[in-house]
A = this chain, B = another copy of it.
């Protein structure tokens, strides 16, 4: 099978949006033994789109995933371009028009004619329903190539590609046995170095990495006839990644901590300075986190640290807010105030300002406190504000995870 991608949208070429769809599509297709050999990204230009589709079919492509240009606005012209290619007119799919109408009115919004335009597709095309959004997709065959056109919005793209492309391939039996391990606390080069021996010891196993900042995901794949090698390589990975391995399911980082807290019957209270609420937000991204999360306090100011986390002002004056002594008091304070089994705190300098020679930007102190003991950790992060925030929030949750599993 020869697979290409045709990504459509001015926003992909003018610096507004990075095309991450191809990344996830490649991963999903890889799991069913297929790979993308070319991606073409073009603007919302009717003539260019149909010309490009013709060229793609002319290269003996079997499947082309087309994304974008199916929305309600006048610059969405993918349906028109494919109608041009097939030399047919557009026709409205009445069922989809009804679905769109229901969706819009159920949201209490007014139905506008441009909304209904999304139900238009090239005559004879197969309609692909969209359960996550308004714009349906379509599927046509031209010059021996199957074109599957779906919206570019990632969650819609993923769901529709899964239904129209990946699931049928999987059912046809092309799934490669595969292991996915998620790690935190090592950079890609470190993971690579630790796992290098796999290549020589189990050559039938393919190792892949994906940096999903700040997580590193490791995938292992092998043919049906090398399952033993795959299992052995997986065991090796688990040993090498050690405490850095946090999940072997598809769940996100915080979900593994919520599961662990539930399992232990523990509750958590969080005090944050430099992460500004992000640690609590990551935790509460997990449905069911309310069972283990007692309280979060975002204490930017010293006044707030004194008043609501019971950090004494002498400590703040003598050690500074970003210090081991203060972060420990913050963790104790929020644990006491929140009535939680475990208290965790973070205090640091996310940047770009606020650094000093002694405590440069990226200096972060973490503390965890429970009946099992207290632990602190200092980080020196090299990133910019957003990444410093993210990695500090992860590290705070990770400190709790490690405190619980030791």
Whether the pair A294, B285 counts as a contact (CB closer than 8 A) is: no
Check: A283 CB closer than 8 A to any chain B CB: yes
Which chain B residue has the least Cβ–Cβ distance from A23? Answer: B18
Q: Shortest beta-carbon distance, A245 to chain B, in Å?
A: 18
CA distance A194 to B364 in the complex (A): 47
Contact with B along A6-28 (1 / 0, CB 8 A): 00001111111111101111110
Report whether A380 and B283 are in contact in the complex, using a CB–CB cutoff of 8 Å: no
CB-based contact A26/B39 at 8 Å = no
Q: A276-B289, A281-B278, A287-B353 are in contact. Are A11 and B208 (CB under 8 A)?
A: yes
**Known interface pairs A73-B188, A189-B114. Does A301 touch B296 (Cβ–Cβ under 8 Å)?**
no
Cβ A281 vs Cβ B277 within 8 A: yes
**Does A112 count as interface, using CB distance less than 8 angstroms?**
yes
Please encode chain A, from 159 to 171, with 1 for each CB lying within 8 Å of some chain B CB and 0 for all others: 0000000000000
Residues of B within 8 A of A106 (CB): 382
User: What's the number of copies of this chain in the assembled complex?
Assistant: 2
Tell me the bound Cα distance from A170 to B281 in angstroms: 40
Contacts of A337 in B (CB 8 A): 307-308
Give the total of A residues in contact with B, Cβ under 8 Å. 97
Instruction: Kindly state whether residue A290 has any CB partner on chain B within 8 Å.
Output: yes
Q: Is A72 an interface residue (CB 8 A)?
A: yes
Q: Chain B contacts of A386 at CB under 8 A?
A: 285
Which of A40-48, A80-88, A233-241 lines the interface with chain B?
Answer: A40-48
Known pairs A15-B30, A295-B300, A353-B288; A74 contacts B199 (CB<8 A)? yes
**A276 lies within 8 A of B287 (CB):** no
Stretch of A209-217, A224-232, A310-318, A398-406 contacting B (4+ beta carbons < 8 Å): A209-217
- Contact, CB under 8 Å: A280 / B301: no
CB contacts (< 8 Å) of A217 on chain B: these are: 16
Task: Answer whether residue A70 sits at the interface, using C-beta atoms and an 8 A cutoff.
Answer: no
A304 contacts the other chain (Cβ, under 8 Å)? Answer: yes
Pair B13/A24 contact, Cβ less than 8 Å: no
Distance (whole angstroms) from the CB of A372 to the closest CB of chain B: 23
Q: Which residues of B contact A189 (CB under 8 A)?
A: 71-73, 112, 114-115
A177 to B35, CA, bound (A): 41
A72-B188, A72-B192, A109-B190 given; name 17 further pairs at CB < 8 Å: A10-B208, A11-B208, A12-B22, A14-B36, A15-B30, A19-B19, A38-B40, A108-B380, A272-B277, A285-B389, A290-B300, A293-B300, A294-B303, A295-B304, A297-B297, A303-B339, A307-B337
Q: List 10 A-B contacts (CB under 8 A).
A: A13-B26, A14-B30, A14-B35, A71-B188, A106-B382, A153-B211, A289-B300, A293-B300, A297-B298, A307-B337
